[in-house]
Amino acid sequence: MASKILPFAGGIHPPHSKHSTEDKKVEICKVPDIVKIPLKQHVGAPCVPLVKPGDKVKWGQKIGQPQGYISAAVHSSVSGTVQSIEEAEQPDGSRVETVVIQNDGKDTPDHSIRPGTLESLNAEELRNIVMEAGIVGMGGAAFPTHVKLSPPPERKIDTVILNGSESEPFLTSDDRLMLEHPEDILYGCKVIMKILGVSRAFIAIEDIMPEAIRILSAKAEGEKGIQVVRLGTKYPQGAEKQLIYAITGRQVPSGGLPMDVGTVVQNVGTAAAISRAVRTGEPLTQRIVTVSGGAVREPKNLLVRIGTSFRDVIDCCGGWKEKPVKILSGGPMMGVAQHTLDVPVTKGTSGIVLFTEKEAAMPEVSNCIRCGRCASVCPIRLMPLLISANSLKGNYEEAEKLHALDCIECGSCSFICPAARPLLQSIQVAKKEILAGRKKRDASVSNDLSEGRTDRNKSNRT
Amino acid sequence: MDYFTVSPAPHIRTQESASRIMLDVVIALIPAGIVSIFVNGVGVLWTILISIVTAVLTEYLIQKFMKKPVTINDFSAVVTGILMAYNLPPGAPWWLAVIGSFLAIALVKQLFGGLGHNFMNPALAARAILLAAWPVRMTTWVLPDAVTSATSSATPLAMMEGTWASASKLPSFLDVFLGNIGGSIGETSSVALLIGAAYLLVRKVISWRIPVTYIATTFILTVLLGGHGLYGAFYQIFLGGLILGAFYMATDYSSSPITPKGQIIMGIGCGILTAVIRIYGGYPEGVSYSILLMNVVTPLIDKYTMPKIYGEGKAHA
């Protein structure tokens, strides 16, 4: 068993809070009568619907056609009848076109995707299955996987990393997947390696999950080129850049992507989904969701059909035992607080956390004391106190010079601040303003060019 | 209709607060105070208390007057009050403590924006003002067993640096280490201060960078240039408020650099200045001025020691 632990700078140690679900085997969440499947659950362009109200659909049938290069197909997670296609709210706060399907309870499968084996299919065919199955990054980022697995030819990839370090508190969905379906993860790893033509892969697991490390190491024993790596437990160990640095010592350049340093990172859940798609032809229609927090009656890890409402999932856990003050989609560090339970579980929903009043209590904000703790925990070695101070004053140019755009929004700074200052929030505002400013500048530059203005003339404009 | 709280991430926070940090500093300073009371008499307890009360009251009144939120419960004024007292000689009159604390809080801290905005250590800056205005009172030391007879004497550092023309014998190292010597209220008991410093380091309130580089630099330069030999230089570490200054004053958050490299530079700078003032200057103690001078340079140090961010300097194609 490999145990190479390279730390990254900074990071925090929030309480894990995983004890209520880490030993709970995944249960099947009751499939609801109605599912609402968003046509955009990924980074990129939304799908166009392939069905209309009244159509009969099967489980796994493609109902959304991707648009553009960065997009991912969407499939029905039940068999039944399309009730309507309407705009609905998502856990991330956006409103997207959603296909509402009445479940007929039969789970009639669709067999559009032809399964195969690692040996019988070549790289191109394997990648095609990943694309057809609508697989996206399941660690929460929801980036279309087939795009990630198609780096441009000039980017030589030599390393694959499977991300099994679930560093968000409360969440145990990846942990349970590693304990209960290690073979899927290994198989998916091999598929990814074949698609990319890579001979070396690492499966990264935090040392707080020794059982998962043991099981996957045993499974990886005979596999050539696959090594299980034990990482120190720290947040955000699961962040892509930090993971790459910890395992390979390579730094993804500012503004760049992992492929710039020859690496591709995939969540273990994504690898398992790839394995099922290749072996059985099953597209991405369900995922493991951890339901936890002090307010839920029976914390569980559930296998949930995409499109199930948060309300139905929580009902599957016995509802709440005390009125939750906050409902989070995801974990407490980077999750999104919900104002309604009528949002669907999407491909990227890794957890639903219900906070009691005590858990949701926040300290009062006070003045910055310049202690510098935020700077010492930032995994990117930024100076959050300076970026935040500038952002709050509207000095976005100064914030840009301080590398605000490199912030990975992990929230470590806000967590550690003894004055409870809104560091992450102000940095997020700065990032938006900087990008908006750039868009405006680019637009005005192209205006100038198209109207034939020279630099000399530009100074006459406001 | 169910209502839930919607607020931005992250949704959990550390239990640590600014007031807890300040409380830790107060705790760390207590041993030195206790030894001082024991050695110098109960008079210093009054000085310390008056100093604290003045500091807290000043902050309260100013914040009320400026219509700002009153923050005396963050204990930072208490810390300033204690440090102000610790910088006064044991026989100092009560009004010296009052004026000093008032200046520290009103002038150096609140006028510039309050906690987090003072660009100089408030207690040290006030001390410098008091020293300029009342030089005799601020440098009249009383030997421990002469408290009742109030015989003024020299601190061991003054003796070593030849500003006192008496032929008195230097105290033993044990006396120096325990604090049974002449000096400011809080600076004499090295052992008590070091215990407090260890507490602060363990609690992660301060980093080792400034204090260790400060003391090491002072020591090395004193060995090389001080003319007292290796032992003399080592002995001098425990004199003149160096330990108090290095661990408790130079590490003040707002007036010291926030970058790791910057903190080392400050430590070295303070060390050089302290050694130079002690060896070549006409004044036996260099700690206060060294720290104040480095405080003023801190923004510049921060500017030039920004760490390289992850992925910097590796522009991709």
- Closest Cβ–Cβ partner in B308, B310, B314 for A241: B310
Give dist(CA A402, CA A423) in Å, integer.
14
**Backbone dihedral angles phi then psi of residue A226, each to the nearest 5 degrees:** -105, 125
Mean pLDDT of B232-237: 86
Give dist(CA A27, CA A304) in Å, integer.
9
Beta bridge partners, A326, equal A355
Give dist(CA A335, CA A327) in Å, integer.
9
Comparison of pLDDT for B173 and A337, the residue scoring more: A337
DSSP classification of residue B174: H
* Alpha-carbon gap: A408 to the closest alpha carbon of chain B (Å): 11
- Closest Cβ–Cβ partner in A337, A367, A382 for B115: A367
pLDDT of B240:
83
pLDDT of residue A367 exceeding 80: yes
Q: Show Cβ contacts of residue A288 under 8 Å, excluding neighbours closer than 6 positions.
A: A26, A173, A174, A176, A177, A269, A301, A302, A303, A304
Beta bridge partners, A292, equal A353
Give dist(CA B71, CA B38) in Å, integer.
33
Amino acid at site B292: L
* Alpha-carbon gap: B31 to the closest alpha carbon of chain A (Å): 24
Name chain B contacts of A251, Cβ cutoff 8 Å. 310-311, 314
Structure tokens belonging to residue A69: 């290069």
Beta bridge partners, A264, equal A160
| Sign of the C-alpha dihedral computed for residues B94, B95, B100 and B103 taken in this order | positive
Name chain B contacts of A325, Cβ cutoff 8 Å. 4-5
pLDDT digit string, tens, across residues A16-43: 999 999 999 999 999 999 999 999 999 9
Give dist(CA B220, CA A412) in Å, integer.
39
pLDDT of A459:
43
Whether residue B10 is preceded by a cis peptide bond, meaning omega within 30 degrees of 0, is yes
pLDDT of residue B5 exceeding 50: yes
pLDDT digit string, tens, across residues A141-175: 899 999 999 999 888 999 999 999 988 999 999 99
Q: Show Cβ contacts of residue B237 under 8 Å, excluding neighbours closer than 6 positions.
A: B215, B218, B219, B243
Buried (b) or exposed (e) across B220-241, using 16+ Cβ within 10 A? Answer: ebbbeebebeeeebebbbbbbb
The answer to whether residue B11 neighbours chain A at the CB level (below 8 Å) is: yes
pLDDT digit string, tens, across residues B107-163: 999 999 888 889 999 999 999 999 899 988 888 776 555 444 444 556 777 777 664
**Backbone dihedral angles phi then psi of residue B25, each to the nearest 5 degrees:** -65, -40
DSSP classification of residue A32: P
Give dist(CA A2, CA A23) in Å, integer.
25
pLDDT of residue A2 exceeding 90: no
**Backbone dihedral angles phi then psi of residue A12, each to the nearest 5 degrees:** -135, 170
Contacts across the A-B interface (CB distance below 8 Å): 154
Name chain A contacts of B21, Cβ cutoff 8 Å. 369, 371, 418
* Alpha-carbon gap: A134 to the closest alpha carbon of chain B (Å): 29
Burial class (CB in 10 A: 0-12, 13-18, 19+), B280: exposed
What is the rounded average pLDDT for all residues in chain B? 87
Counting residues of chain A whose pLDDT is more than 90, the rounded percentage is: 79
* Distance set, CA A308 to CA A40, A134, A351 (Å): 15, 18, 13
pLDDT of B280:
86
- Closest Cβ–Cβ partner in A12, A359, A380 for B310: A380
**Backbone dihedral angles phi then psi of residue A227, each to the nearest 5 degrees:** -125, 130
**Backbone dihedral angles phi then psi of residue B226, each to the nearest 5 degrees:** -80, -25
Q: Show Cβ contacts of residue B270 under 8 Å, excluding neighbours closer than 6 positions.
A: B210, B214, B217, B218, B245, B246, B250, B287, B290, B291, B294
Name chain A contacts of B59, Cβ cutoff 8 Å. none
Query: Is A115:A279 a contact under the CB 8 Å cutoff?
Result: yes
Query: Is B182:B153 a contact under the CB 8 Å cutoff?
Result: yes
pLDDT of B165:
41
> Closest Cα to residue B285, out of B243, B314, B223, B229?
B243
pTM of the model: 0.89
- Closest Cβ–Cβ partner in A362, A366, A403 for B309: A403
pLDDT of B285:
67
pLDDT of residue A458 exceeding 60: no
Query: Is A424:A401 a contact under the CB 8 Å cutoff?
Result: no
Query: Is A43:A141 a contact under the CB 8 Å cutoff?
Result: yes
Q: Show Cβ contacts of residue B236 under 8 Å, excluding neighbours closer than 6 positions.
A: B157, B160, B218, B222, B226, B228, B242, B278
Name chain B contacts of A428, Cβ cutoff 8 Å. 8
pLDDT of residue A250 exceeding 80: yes
Q: What is the dihedral of CA A312, A316, A322, A325, to 10 degrees?
A: -40
What is the rounded average pLDDT for all residues in chain A? 91
Give dist(CA A129, CA A134) in Å, integer.
9
The answer to whether residue A427 neighbours chain B at the CB level (below 8 Å) is: no
Q: Show Cβ contacts of residue A357 under 8 Å, excluding neighbours closer than 6 positions.
A: A325
Contact yes or no for A418 and B21 at CB 8 A: yes
Amino acid at site A70: I
* Distance set, CA A440 to CA A327, A433, A445, A447 (Å): 36, 10, 9, 10
pLDDT digit string, tens, across residues B18-77: 999 999 999 999 999 999 998 888 889 999 999 999 999 999 999 999 998 888 888 999
Buried (b) or exposed (e) across B117-152, using 16+ Cβ within 10 A? Answer: bbebbbbbbbbbbbbeebeebbbebbbbeebeeeee
Query: Is A302:A313 a contact under the CB 8 Å cutoff?
Result: yes
Structure tokens belonging to residue B80: 């300033």
Report the alpha-carbon angle A110-A115-A120, nearest 5.
165
pLDDT digit string, tens, across residues B159-180: 776 644 444 567 788 888 888 7
Q: Show Cβ contacts of residue A166 under 8 Å, excluding neighbours closer than 6 positions.
A: A172, A173, A174, A175, A206, A238
| SS3 category, A75 | strand
pLDDT of residue A204 exceeding 90: yes
Query: Is A224:A207 a contact under the CB 8 Å cutoff?
Result: no
DSSP classification of residue B115: T
The answer to whether residue A325 neighbours chain B at the CB level (below 8 Å) is: yes
**CA B153: distance to chain centroid?**
24
The answer to whether residue A380 neighbours chain B at the CB level (below 8 Å) is: yes
**Beta A300-305 vs A27-28: how paired, if at all?**
parallel
pLDDT bracket for residue A455 (50, 70, 90): very low
Q: What is the number of other CB atoms lying within 10 angstroms of the CB of residue A252?
A: 22
Mean pLDDT of A338-364: 94
pLDDT of B183:
82
Buried (b) or exposed (e) across A33-55, using 16+ Cβ within 10 A? Answer: ebbbbbbbbbbbebbebbbeeeb
